[in-house]
């Protein structure tokens, strides 16, 4: 306290006015900085929440679009499968008809050969091991059904 008693009045008043003026100014400055920081944090959080909501909506929309694409893909695969099966059925019917015609033609040729006596001689000759035009053993009747001899 002796330091204050030894000082002149002018510096004391200046110090007192500075102290009285600066303390509220510093307090207002600190409070303003804290309020500004809180306001900036609130605004940043609000912006992040808005971005979060937008991104969530975009992801939901994207997932719905991909689900629709999958539905189209499934329909395409089903259509292709049905077309393939119908083509295979048509091909099966065509090939079955071709085989039936082929077997019918073979059966008709076999009937013609069966009814031709020269064919029976040739078959008998080949069966007995003789070459065509050679003398063959006595003729035996040969039945075309199950290769039986009579």
Say whether 116 sits in a helix, a strand or coil: coil
DSSP state, residue 130: P
pTM: 0.45
pLDDT digits (tens, 9 = 90+) for 17-36: 888 989 999 999 999 999 99
Q: How many residues does the chain have?
A: 150
How far is Cα 90 from Cα 79, in angstroms, rounded to an integer? 16
How far is Cα 92 from Cα 72, in angstroms, rounded to an integer? 30
pLDDT digits (tens, 9 = 90+) for 70-129: 999 999 999 999 999 999 999 999 999 999 999 999 999 888 877 777 776 666 677 666
């Amino acid at each position: 306290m002796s330091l204050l008693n030894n000082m002149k009045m002018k510096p004391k008043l200046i110090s007192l006015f500075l102290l009285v003026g600066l303390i509220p100014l510093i307090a207002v400055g600190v409070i303003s900085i804290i309020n500004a920081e809180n306001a900036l944090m609130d605004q940043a959080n609000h912006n992040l929440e808005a971005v979060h909501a937008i991104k969530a909506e975009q992801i939901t929309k994207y997932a719905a679009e991909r689900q629709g694409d999958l539905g189209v893909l499934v329909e395409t695969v089903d259509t292709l499968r049905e077309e393939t099966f119908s083509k295979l059925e048509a091909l099966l019917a065509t090939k079955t008809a071709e085989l039936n015609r082929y077997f019918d033609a073979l059966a008709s040729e076999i009937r013609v050969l069966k009814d031709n006596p020269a064919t029976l001689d040739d078959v008998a000759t080949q069966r007995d091991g003789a070459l065509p035009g050679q003398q063959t053993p006595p003729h035996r009747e040969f039945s075309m059904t199950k290769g039986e001899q009579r």
